[in-house]
Structure 1
Amino acid sequence: SDAQPSVFLFPPSLDQLHKGTASIVCMLSDFYPKEASVKWKVDGVLQSSGIQQSVTEQNSKDNTYSLSSTLTIPSTEYQSHEKYSCEVTHKSLSSALVKSFNRSECQKE
């Protein structure tokens, strides 16, 4: 039977930003079947580069899959935008599931 993914979105760490890059991670867990798609949007604009995706093997206990998608961009570019979204499409979902965060709300210097 189909299982809906749990979706978590993690902003980059300040440590990482100070080093010059920003990696934003979208984690999907406990879903079935394996086919799932993740789209990244920055201020509403679809991103096509800087994305790495990896799918885990099937979990032997409950036969579900997990996936992580990472968007990596230069810190300067990260700082120049506000809204970061990961949009998940999966057979179990009637419409895309979107997780977002606003950069200004995450950044506490």
Structure 2
Amino acid sequence: MLEFPTETHQYHIIKLVVVNQAKNEALWYTFGGGTKLTIMKPSVSLLPPSSLQISGDSAALLCLLSSYSPQGATVSWTLDGSEVTEGVQTSAESERDGRYSRSSVLSLSKARWEGADRFVCRVRHDGADHEASFLKSSQC
């Protein structure tokens, strides 16, 4: 049975009965014009902490995701290859003209900042991974 919503949010139930269909024969029915889904991969940027922050007691890295569609991008962080969840704040997705954006901040203590060399913001969107990384200049 198939259900099709009407514009008044009521449902119509249609029962399809197929008789004598061969095993290898495909059965397709198309109703309406369908839905167009355009997938746009996110642009991912990673901004390191400012020198003023680094000279203080903490450091924050900012990961920006922009111009992607559909919604549903997730963000994770790694330091030197190990996933980090503490100190992560990720915004809700915002939409403009059918494209989405969000940001994620990784806040670190001065000791944690000084003890790591490679920082990665990893974005998962529509089954694919995208990332931006920052390597301290002492490692270049």
Aligned match of 1:100: 133
Which protein has greater RCO, CA pairs closer than 8 Å, 6+ apart? 1
Unaligned runs of 5+ in 2: 1-37
Counterpart amino acid of 2:114?
A: Q
Aligned length: 102
Alpha-carbon deviation of 1:97? 1.1
Q: TM-score, normalised by structure 1?
A: 0.86
Q: Call closer, same or farther: CA 1:2–1:105 in 2, change over 3 Å.
A: farther
Unaligned runs of 5+ in 1: none
Q: Call closer, same or farther: CA 1:19–1:10 in 2, change over 3 Å.
A: same
SS at match of 1:16: helix
Q: Does the CA-based 8 Å contact 2:77-2:84 persist in structure 1?
A: yes
From 103, 108, 113, the counterpart of 1:73: 108
Alpha-carbon deviation of 1:48? 1.3
Alpha-carbon deviation of 1:40? 0.1
Trace 1:76-95 onto structure 2 (pairs within 5 A): 76-91=111-126, 95=128
Aligned match of 2:27: none
RMSD of equivalent CA atoms: 1.6
Work out which of the two has the higher radius of gyration on C-alpha atoms and give 1 or 2. 2
Q: Does the CA-based 8 Å contact 2:94-2:102 persist in structure 1?
A: no
Q: Does the CA-based 8 Å contact 1:58-1:64 persist in structure 2?
A: yes
Q: TM-score, normalised by structure 2?
A: 0.68
Aligned match of 1:9: 46
SS at match of 2:121: strand
Counterpart amino acid of 2:116?
A: H
| Aligned-pair identity (%) | 32
Q: Does the CA-based 8 Å contact 2:73-2:125 persist in structure 1?
A: yes
Q: Does the CA-based 8 Å contact 1:55-1:65 persist in structure 2?
A: no
